[in-house]
Structure 1
């Protein structure tokens, strides 16, 4: 003979679904925050590089700067895609709020050469 707990102690399907929805919402928010921090870090790295520029850039420094711009463009792409997946479509405001340089915006979604 099996014994079942009383019905009032059984989880209701609505509460299980609500708990899952809550976990999914938390993960979406966490991912969005992580992507935003990555974008901020990439833009800050580019700004720091530009601030310490000598009068003339060597080929090595130019390549390093191109890499930083490409990384920032990739971070921006990931952040915009994540926002749009969540239904946040206003990218113009995002570009203003994060002070994204035009060259980073132009590199958004462009894959680096192999």
Structure 2
């Protein structure tokens, strides 16, 4: 894990923490959008749309990837823990990675 021992590095620690927090909030938002969509489909208040759901899964997969990469840069090598903590669905785990195109 990076140590920000030198006082000149302290702003970097703050930036790293802020960026990590932002990535975590983004992951939560993307997962919540997917959960809301699935709940609406299950409640029959929305018609299933495979393309829409695939897009939500890709967005969540990208956010999951971004959060894990940022944590790994800080020496936190625990993607399985994050997947459990955020209740990341299997299809989102499979879609983990940067968006293409």
Among 51, 60, 68, which residue is 1:80 paired with?
68
Listed one character per residue, the Cα deviations across residues 63-84 of structure 1 (whole Å, up to 9, x for unaligned) are: 1110000000000010010000
Equivalent residue for 1:96? 84
Q: TM-score, normalised by structure 2?
A: 0.85
Q: TM-score, normalised by structure 1?
A: 0.76
Equivalent residue for 1:68? 56
Among 16, 23, 27, which residue is 1:28 paired with?
16
Give 4+ residue runs of structure 1 displaced > 6 Å after superposition. none
Q: Unaligned regions of 5+ residues in structure 1, if any? A: 1-16
Q: Please identify the structure whose Cα radius of gyration is greater.
A: 1
Q: Unaligned regions of 5+ residues in structure 2, if any? A: 1-5
- Does 2:22 correspond to 1:47? no
Query: How far apart are 1:56 and its partner, in Å?
Result: 6.0
Which whole-Å CA distance do the structure 1 matches of 2:47 and 2:11 have between them? 52
RMSD: 1.6
Which whole-Å CA distance do the structure 2 matches of 1:43 and 1:90 have between them? 19
Count of residue pairs brought into register by the alignment: 93
